[in-house]
Amino acid sequence: MLDIEEKKKSRFKFLNHLYKLSDGNEHTSFNMFAIGETFGFDRELTVNIINYLENTGLIKWRGSGDISISRAGFIEIEAALAQPAKPTKHFAPLDTIIPAGAGKDAQRREDRPGTQEVLVSNAACERVQALILLLKESIDTLNLEPEKRRDLTADIHTIEAQMTSSQPKTTVLAPCLDSIQEILKGKAGSTCASKLLMKLEPVYVQITHQR
């Protein structure tokens, strides 16, 4: 279990990452578990973070695991970045979360310890977009249980939102593709699911090998 200081840092990391993904658009939604997996957070920790951020008005709940940053969330992060030595309404000074003077490189390391953020190639983006179109066309044919359908829809929305970014990231796409793969495997007896798995496999390999 994380101590209170680590919880506070985890909340900031999560909100800061959502801020960067949103790229100035508070109406763009993302799957909360995909973001949590970016940092290695389990589902329980991710839910705890979401509860805090929603209760403080920093994010908005969109349903089916989707969230978006609120205007208050944008203001909170931008205030922290503008004056890193000062606390914001909900967070300690940024310099106590990310070492003072370490700059943007340190912030990237804090976001994903021990790794560098990997961007998705143009070729991979085209394959992902083609896969998502096929999934959307096939979702009714899959005859999924309501919960699985919601999960699949949330993953699709997260990927679509990431595709609108000028710099799509493997750390967001890979967990969504992994989730989609598991959902389709659960319907492996379906001809439609089997065909989709065949289409997904090379896309999944291409994305995960870029990480």
**Rounded mean pLDDT, 124-135:** 91
User: In the predicted model, is pLDDT for residue 2 greater than 60?
Assistant: yes
pLDDT in the model for residue 160: 84
The pLDDT tens digits for 96-122 are 886 544 444 444 444 444 344 566 778
pLDDT in the model for residue 106: 42
Question: Could you give the residue ranges of the DSSP H alpha helices within 23-121?
Answer: 32-38, 43-55, 71-82, 94-97, 103-111
For residue 7, what is the enclosing H or E element?
Answer: helix 4-22
The pLDDT tens digits for 132-174 are 999 999 999 999 999 899 889 888 888 887 787 777 778 778 8
The pLDDT tens digits for 22-40 are 877 788 888 898 888 888 8
pLDDT in the model for residue 107: 46
**Rounded mean pLDDT, 73-102:** 82
Split at pLDDT 50, 70, 90, the class of 189 is: confident
Is the pTM higher than 0.95? no
For the stretch 81-108, what's the b/e string if a residue is b when 16 or more beta carbons lie within 10 angstroms of its beta carbon? eeebeeebebbeebeebbeeeeeeeebe
Length of the chain, in residues: 211
Cα distances (Å, whole numbers) of residue 106 to 8, 11, 76, 79, 168: 18, 17, 20, 18, 21
**Rounded mean pLDDT, 163-192:** 84
Domain borders along the chain are 4-109, 122-208
The pLDDT tens digits for 45-61 are 999 999 999 999 999 98
pLDDT in the model for residue 117: 53
| Residue 202 φ/ψ, nearest 5 degrees | -65, -30
pLDDT in the model for residue 95: 84
How far apart (Å, rounded) are the C-alpha atoms in residues 148 and 154? 10
Question: How open is the CA angle 185-125-59, to the nearest 5 degrees?
Answer: 80
How many Cα atoms sit within 13 Å of 147 on the Cβ side?
Answer: 1
For residue 117, what is the enclosing H or E element?
Answer: none
Under CATH, which architecture does the 4-109 domain have?
Orthogonal Bundle (1.10)
pLDDT in the model for residue 210: 56
Closest of 203, 140, 145 to residue 177, by C-alpha: 203
